[in-house]
Amino acid sequence: MIDTAITSPEARPGGPQPIAGRATRREYAALAVLLIGTAAAYLWRLTASGWANSFYAAAVQSGARSWKAFFFGSSDWANAITVDKTPASFWPMELSARLLGFSSFSMLLPQVLLGVASVALLWVIVRRYFGASAGLLAGLVLALTPVAALMFRYNNPDAFLVFLMIAAVWAMLRAVEDGRWRWLLLCGVLVGFGFLAKQLQVMLVLPALAATYLFAGPPKLGKRIVQLVAAGAAMVAGAGWWVLVAQLWPADDRPYFGGSQHNSIIELTLGYNGLDRLSNNRSFGDNPEMKGKFNPFGGQAGLQRLFNETVGGQIAWLIPASLVLLAGAILLCGRAPRTDRKRAALLLFGGWGVVTALVFSLMSGTFHEYYTVALAPALAGVVGIGSVVLWRERDRGWVRGALALSMALTALTAWVLLSRTTDFVPWLRWVIVGVAVVAVLGLLVRTGRTLTIVTLSAALFAGLAAPAAYAVETLRLPHTGGIVRGGPHPDPVFPNFGNAGGADEPEAEAPAAKEPARGFPFTTAPTDKVLALLESNGNAYTWVAATIGSSDAATYQLAADFPVMAVGGFSGGDPAPTLEKFQQDVAESRIHYYIATEERHGPPQRQVSEGSKITGWVKDHYTATTVDGVIMYDLTVPRVTG
């Protein structure tokens, strides 16, 4: 559908700025097709991934059982320790589990709904300023981005985070229109709530939000600055209410904040989930030999990262084209007034995308491929806006050249990325190049109606066929664990960090196939014999078992449906519980079994962890029993000595 309602000179970037009125039936029908198609695709084989990321699934299970676990984001509903994130992203999943019963479907359904809502809200934003065609294209690009197809049906925190970032953009652009305080305050609250979803990652959109209003907001400059300060206060309030309550809650009456070394949510925010993500100086513990040498996630930092073999297929398909389209659309704004709404939208989406891409490219700390879902809406917005804005001005020669260049770059990118997976639809890259040639030729010349339709069809196919193929493969394949990626690539095998060395040392081998792969991020479901022991008289104990690391604990908890204590939290290195606290819980018969695990939860540490102390104490005072390869200690039966 070509939106001709905004092709008049008055609707061009430099002219008067009409705001789209009520959508027509045809526009609503097209939107309905997009949203229904997105929902159907994302719901397809939704439960194939089972518990998906069991680390977070256990938190959802706990929040569905205990309101305290709900509020804090506890790994278990006996509230020993939290996951290493703030809890808001789990709340929709936990409410769904309370309403529908805890299952894979009830847990993942809210993620799908957030994906559909994100596509719809992006359509609302783009259509308001650039028409229905641009809105539909932006929504379609977002829905077909492989990493979005992955994370909008997975139980990581990213789905809720992305929706809140889009909502903050919507509120800010409304503020640019009329300068009303309510929109700025709402924007601040949404960013603050995004912090509660995934802490500092929401800040990726903040520079673009502030810069856009500071540049394009209504006069006067002094008022704009004051309003932005107020929006900042609203942001602090949007996140601070939870931080304040959580931090002031008596420590002995709440779970330990997982991921921190001193039971502090502030430390978790600024350290483990903050600066440590940007720099690898602390990402792998306190071992000085590890600093600056080893980054197993997402490849080495640098401007090429978003195009490398593991990240490229997630997000990179339209990045080169988006840069051309963004530059061209901004140039078309010409000498438009400072408050030009169209340019403001371009600056906001473009700024969001550029900042996010640079941070992800250059950060040397922990970076996972799926983080790039935070870039997907910005990229989709720029592509939807830029394509339509330039198309409407194609009577200019340089605009036709820019459109042709963006098409050629897209085809080249598709060729490079698809060439890395030659066993996956090997014919597709050839077809894309052939169709792209037709599109480029059609874009370079002024054509009649028939050739225009051919050109548009060819451009849409050449631009979206490759990411769509990756998205379909993402929907088809199950994904589990903490490190996942879309497309035909298998989920990565995690190295044994116990043997991790410097950059010149060989990568560690995965666990031998003949042994159960246990320890982060691999866990095997407990056998019937192990499960029977855990379930035996399970209601008599606060925790039916304790084990080092949240991934192992989560697997046992999800299977047994009783709380399992995650000693040391996610990596096993958190000082919780202390040996003294663990001994007290054992003395009070609150823990039934201790399950010994291999120490594969992180690199060598210079200090003995509380988990190691606990394991040593258990071995000294209790008798080990091996059940189907699992070493278990019954903590209610001390070893007889003397």
* Rounded percentage of the chain residues whose pLDDT exceeds 70: 86
Q: Which of 26-35, 268-277, 462-471 has the lowest mean pLDDT?
A: 268-277
Phi, then psi, of 65 in degrees rounded to 5: -105, -30
Q: Which residues of 485-524 are buried (b: 16+ CB within 10 A; e: fewer)?
A: bbbbbeebebebbeebbeeeeeebeebeeeebbbbbbbbe
> What sign does the dihedral 432-311-552-77 (CA atoms) show?
negative
Closest CA to 70 of 105, 100, 97, 106: 97
Q: What is the DSSP string of 390-429?
A: HHHTTTSHHHHHHHHHHHHHHHHHHHHHHTT-TTSSTTHH
First CA to last CA across the chain, in angstroms?
A: 86
Q: Which residues of 362-386 are buried (b: 16+ CB within 10 A; e: fewer)?
A: ebbbbbbbbbbbbbbbbbbbbbbbb
pLDDT surpasses 70 at 175: yes
pLDDT band for position 273 (cuts 50, 70, 90): low
pLDDT, tens digit, for every residue of 287-345?
444 444 445 567 888 999 999 999 999 999 999 999 999 999 999 998 899 999 999 99
Sheet of strand 564-567: strand arrangement:
564-567, 543-548, 591-595, 630-638, 622-627
pLDDT band for position 609 (cuts 50, 70, 90): confident
What integer pLDDT is reported at residue 99 of this predicted model? 97
What integer pLDDT is reported at residue 265 of this predicted model? 86
What integer pLDDT is reported at residue 606 of this predicted model? 42
pLDDT surpasses 90 at 8: no
> Which SS3 state, helix, strand or coil, does residue 163 take?
helix
What integer pLDDT is reported at residue 358 of this predicted model? 96
Listed in sequence order, the residues at least 6 apart from 106 whose beta carbon sits closer than 8 Å to its beta carbon are: 93, 96, 97, 99, 100
Please state, in angstroms and rounded to a whole number, the distance separating the CA atoms of residues 640 and 634: 13
pLDDT, tens digit, for every residue of 119-144?
999 999 999 999 999 999 999 999 99
Q: Cα separations (Å) of 555 from 456, 512, 566, 599, 615?
A: 50, 20, 11, 17, 19
Residues of the chain by 3-state class (helix, strand, coil), percent to 5: 60, 5, 35
> Residue 263 CB: number of other CB atoms within 10 A?
18
How confident is the prediction for the chain on average, in pLDDT?
87
Q: Which of 95-99, 107-111, 517-521 has the lowest mean pLDDT?
A: 517-521
Contact 141, 464 (CB under 8 A): yes
pLDDT surpasses 60 at 13: no
pLDDT surpasses 60 at 507: no
What integer pLDDT is reported at residue 295 of this predicted model? 55
What integer pLDDT is reported at residue 491 of this predicted model? 67
* Strands 564-567 and 543-548, bridge-based pairing: parallel
Give the mean pLDDT of 143-168.
97
> Which token pair is 431?
């077809």
Closest CA to 186 of 243, 231, 124: 231
pLDDT surpasses 60 at 77: yes
What integer pLDDT is reported at residue 159 of this predicted model? 97
Contact 407, 440 (CB under 8 A): yes
Q: Which amino acid is at 237?
A: A
pLDDT, tens digit, for every residue of 34-51?
999 999 999 999 999 999
Give the mean pLDDT of 347-357.
97
Q: What is the DSSP string of 172-210?
A: HHHHHHH--HHHHHHHHHHHHHHHHHHGGGGGGSHHHHH
What integer pLDDT is reported at residue 607 of this predicted model? 53
* Rounded percentage of the chain residues whose pLDDT exceeds 90: 76
> Which SS3 state, helix, strand or coil, does residue 599 take?
coil
Q: Chain-centre distance of CA 608, in angstroms?
A: 33
pLDDT surpasses 60 at 519: no
Please state, in angstroms and rounded to a whole number, the distance separating the CA atoms of residues 549 and 565: 9
Describe the crossing of helices 341-362 and 104-130 by its angle, rounded to 10 degrees: 140
Contact 27, 20 (CB under 8 A): no
Describe the crossing of helices 376-392 and 158-178 by its angle, rounded to 10 degrees: 40
pLDDT, tens digit, for every residue of 204-220?
999 999 999 999 999 89
pLDDT band for position 16 (cuts 50, 70, 90): very low
Q: Which of 86-95, 167-176, 596-605 has the lowest mean pLDDT?
A: 596-605
Contact 305, 360 (CB under 8 A): yes
pLDDT, tens digit, for every residue of 360-372?
999 988 899 999 9
pLDDT, tens digit, for every residue of 235-244?
999 999 999 9
- Phi-psi category of residue 12: left, alpha or beta, with phi > 0 → left and psi -120 to 50 → alpha: beta
CA-only gyration radius of the chain, Å: 26
What integer pLDDT is reported at residue 532 of this predicted model? 94
* Strands 622-627 and 630-638, bridge-based pairing: antiparallel
Give the mean pLDDT of 416-435.
95
pLDDT, tens digit, for every residue of 541-585?
999 999 999 889 999 999 999 999 999 998 888 999 999 999 999
pLDDT band for position 490 (cuts 50, 70, 90): low
What integer pLDDT is reported at residue 506 of this predicted model? 35
> What sign does the dihedral 53-54-58-60 (CA atoms) show?
positive
> Which token pair is 343?
């340019």
Residue 101 per-residue DSSP state: -
pLDDT surpasses 60 at 596: yes
What integer pLDDT is reported at residue 270 of this predicted model? 75
